Amino acid sequence: MKVGQIQTLKVNRISDYGLYLVDEQEQEVLLPNRFVSLNNAVGDEIEVFVYHDSEDRLVATTDKPLITEGSVACLKVVDKNIHGAFLDWGLVGKDLFLPNRNQQGGVIPGRSYLVWLYVDNITGRCVATQKLKSYIDNDIITVKPRQKVEIIVASESPIGYRAIINNRHWGMIYKNQIFKPVAIGDKLEGFVRRITDDNRIDLMLQETGYKGVTDSAQLLLQMIKQKGGVMELGDKSTPESVHAETQMSKNQFKRAVGVLLKSGDIEAEDFQIRLKKR
């Protein structure tokens, strides 16, 4: 039974309290009645998340948590006591425990913090920690340049945003590579721009190459249509006005316009682009 993970289990028997599900080793866990459908029957397979409830019993739920074992998420503190803090992880009636020993500088109720979820070796329960260095590192790089990756924004610096890549590595998104609002805790899709000799990973939020240009072109075409067929931007527009209107860099905008001109979708002037009449 994989505590802290989403998994597919089989209905083994039905009781007054709900469905008893089993894994491949025939270990049972209860799926309470509030998650049960009248159509469920013995032998059905159900995707569930397994965890310990407020009475320390192992249970299953069909609700999807905001974080699972071996991953990072930005979670809000909902309560504190002398032993630690409690985080909202998306499950009704059960908060995620963040012990004092796993905190860095203390936490404040109502604020959100980046945490890692692990399963305690002694109690078997899901526990959160802010101490990420034991889980996130660049010792052995498992990604490559231009690869699509999942990014969680971890912190801001004068040059950009430090981010966690695929719940495994540290990376950096430089501010001159960002063309849309970004906040701590955001989950984004990005691409590896380069990997340095000392295993630093630089990231970008837009794909380079032909596909990245064609995607930007289709996005720009949709913007023009939404504005009634005319957009007051062109080759002579300032980078600031282009970014404010499209969330693209000036170069990205110009490449997208070039694709749309070549395809015959638009006409362009110094300060205006518009749909081409057919």
CATH of region 210-275: 1.10.10.10
CATH of region 72-129: 2.40.50.140
Cα 133 from Cα 16, distance rounded (Å): 45
CATH of region 6-61: 2.40.50.140
Residues 6, 68: contact at Cβ < 8 Å?
yes
Tell me, what's the pLDDT at 217?
83
Tokens 């063309």 sit on residue: 179
Tell me, what's the pLDDT at 54?
85
- Angle, in degrees to the nearest 10, between helices 239-246 and 209-226: 80
Q: Superfamily for 148-204?
A: Nucleic acid-binding proteins (2.40.50.140)
**Dihedral pair phi/psi, residue 111, rounded to 5°:** -95, 160
Q: For 164-201, write each residue's pLDDT tens digit.
A: 999 999 999 998 777 678 899 999 999 998 999 999 99
Residues 12, 46: contact at Cβ < 8 Å?
no
Rounded to two decimals, the pTM is 0.75
Assess whether the region 148-204 and the region 210-275 belong to the same CATH fold: no
Cα 251 from Cα 260, distance rounded (Å): 14
Question: Domain boundaries in the chain?
Answer: 6-61, 72-129, 148-204, 210-275
> 74 has which bridge partners?
114
Residues of the chain with pLDDT under 50: 209-210
Instruction: Identify the CA nearest to 145 among candidates 211, 210, 204, 198.
Output: 204
